[in-house]
């Protein structure tokens, strides 16, 4: 290994850069030679192997309100020093700072092609947005964690600079959502069975595929009287007008459809079908009311058993569809339903 020190450029916000607090958050990008603030702890962790050659400071508000201008200025300041590694933050749970640290990481990774190490609390929005572009060491949600976070970040910097293998398990950074192929000494079947045996005998085991995180929502208040309520139908069962005009995918849907059913009393074999590729479509194609009960709700509305049936229904395919995608669909659909004065929703799934 060469005895030459590797070069690190460090990105900080106005607070950690010693400029000031919220009143200085509109501070424009600025470059300093050498280290500033938390850079001391970083340098201490790097020891003789690497050197923090420069620090770039930018106010969080300035960055987030002028992303393009700020990024190009920051990138130029960083590039000038030909760093081997860039470090941003740590940002802990500071949202705007985390987003800035992530955006700088993305710009550096894409333009300068050098690795970026950062540090954030799991729920910092910068994690979800930029985890692919940086090695983000998991920190606590408070700046008091600096003394523990920085040594971990420095260790990661040293190993990346040396070209060593790093992993979330050995280096404490957050999963990047990247898949890497490798040969395991045991087949998947064997590993699955040993995991199952461990589980059944109460022994500890480590899953190879953690479940996604599902959030919890407090139940809404009930509606006082369905006879006064406007009810809407939403489904993940893929019911669409025959021919699937919006080309909703049969699995891993990237979109949903909104369809007008004003005056429709019954979904028939000629008019509606399912786009879903995850269940036998024969029964839904014969009679889509089996998934989306338009026929009975139309009658109930006519007979006053419900106030009314909303004239649009929303549909997507739940088969393999990412939770994050479903959340974005749901936000848009829910807002439209509220704007249309819908009181309650019946969601059907297959």
Partner 1 sequence: MCTVVPISLTVGANRIVPTVAIPYPLGNPQKTPAEEKELRRALVRRALRALETEVHGQVVFDK
Q: Is residue 317 involved in binding partner 1 (CB under 8 A)?
A: no
Q: How far is the CB of 322 from partner 1 (least distance, A)?
A: 13
Give the footprint of partner 1 on residues 329-348 (CB under 8 A): 344, 346-348
Asked whether the beta carbons of 49 and 6 are under 8 A apart, the reply is: yes
Select the residue interacting with partner 1 from 202, 222, 263, 341 (CB under 8 A).
222
Asked if 328 interacts with partner 1 (CB under 8 A), we say no
Residue 122 DSSP SS3: coil
Using CB under 8 A as the criterion, what x/- string covers residues 250-289 for binding partner 1?
A: -----------------------------xxxxxx-xx-x
Q: Read off φ and ψ for residue 13, nearest 5 degrees.
A: -90, 180
Beta carbon of residue 224, minimum distance to partner 1 (angstroms, whole number) = 7
Of 106, 191, 290, 311, the one binding partner 1 by CB under 8 A: 290
**Least distance (Å) from partner 1 to the CB of residue 275?**
14
Q: How far is the CB of 317 from partner 1 (least distance, A)?
A: 14
110 SS3 class = helix
For residue 183, state whether it binds partner 1 (rule: CB under 8 A).
Answer: no
Q: Which of 291, 290, 303, 295 is nearest to 347 (CA)?
A: 291
Give the whole-angstrom CA distance, residue 22 versus residue 154. 28
Residues from 225 through 244 that contact partner 1 (CB under 8 A): 225-226, 229, 231, 237
> Is 85:115 a contact under the CB 8 Å cutoff?
yes
CB 59 within 8 A of CB 86: no
Q: Per CB under 8 A, does 221 bind partner 1?
A: yes
Residue among 184 and 216 whose Cβ is closer to partner 1? 216
Alpha-helical segments (H) within the chain = 39-46, 60-65, 67-79, 95-111, 125-130, 146-161, 168-171, 188-200, 282-286, 294-302, 323-339
Cα–Cα dist 104/129, whole Å: 12
- What is 288-349 written as a DSSP string? GGGTS-HHHHHHHHHTTSSSEE-SEEEE-B-TT--HHHHHHHHHHHHHHHHHTT--EEEEE-
In whole angstroms, the minimum distance from the beta carbon of 216 to partner 1 comes to 5
- Nearest approach in angstroms of CB 273 to partner 1 is 13
For position 214 contacting partner 1 by CB under 8 A, the verdict is yes
**Footprint on this chain of partner 1 (rule: CB under 8 A):** 214-217, 219-226, 229, 231, 237, 279-284, 286-287, 289-293, 295-297, 299-300, 305-306, 344, 346-350
């Amino acid at each position: 290994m060469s005895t030459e020190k590797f070069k690190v450029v460090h990105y900080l916000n106005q607070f950690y850069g010693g400029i000031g607090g919220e009143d200085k958050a509109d501070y424009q990008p600025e470059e300093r030679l050498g280290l500033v603030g938390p850079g001391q702890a970083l340098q201490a962790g790097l020891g003789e192997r690497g050197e923090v050659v420069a620090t770039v400071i930018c106010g969080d508000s300035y960055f987030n309100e002028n992303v393009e201008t700020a990024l190009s200025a920051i990138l130029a300041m960083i590039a000038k020093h030909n760093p081997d590694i860039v470090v941003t933050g740590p940002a802990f749970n500071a949202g705007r700072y985390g987003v800035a640290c992530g955006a700088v990481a993305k710009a550096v990774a894409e333009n300068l092609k050098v690795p970026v190490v950062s540090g954030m609390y799991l729920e910092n929005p910068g994690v979800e947005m930029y985890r692919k572009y940086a090695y983000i060491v998991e920190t606590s949600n408070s700046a008091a964690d600096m003394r523990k976070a920085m040594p971990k970040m420095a260790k990661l910097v040293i190993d990346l600079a040396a070209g060593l293998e790093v992993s979330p398990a050995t280096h404490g950074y957050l999963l990047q959502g990247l898949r890497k192929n490798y040969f395991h000494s045991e087949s998947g079947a064997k590993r699955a069975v040993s995991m199952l045996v461990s589980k059944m005998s109460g022994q500890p085991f480590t899953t190879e595929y953690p479940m996604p995180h599902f959030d919890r929502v407090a139940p809404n208040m009930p509606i006082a009287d369905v006879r006064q309520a406007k009810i809407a139908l939403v489904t993940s069962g893929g019911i669409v007008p025959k021919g699937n005009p919006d080309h909703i995918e049969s699995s891993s849907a990237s979109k949903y459809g909104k369809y007008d059913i004003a005056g429709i009393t019954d979904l028939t074999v000629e008019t509606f079908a399912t786009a879903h590729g995850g269940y036998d479509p024969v029964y839904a194609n014969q009679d889509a009311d089996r998934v989306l009960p338009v026929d009975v709700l139309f009658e109930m509305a006519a007979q006053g058993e419900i106030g009314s049936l909303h004239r649009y229904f929303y549909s997507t395919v739940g088969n393999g569809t990412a939770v994050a995608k479903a959340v974005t669909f749901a936000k848009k659909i829910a807002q439209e339903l509220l704007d249309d004065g819908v009181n309650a929703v019946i969601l059907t799934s297959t």
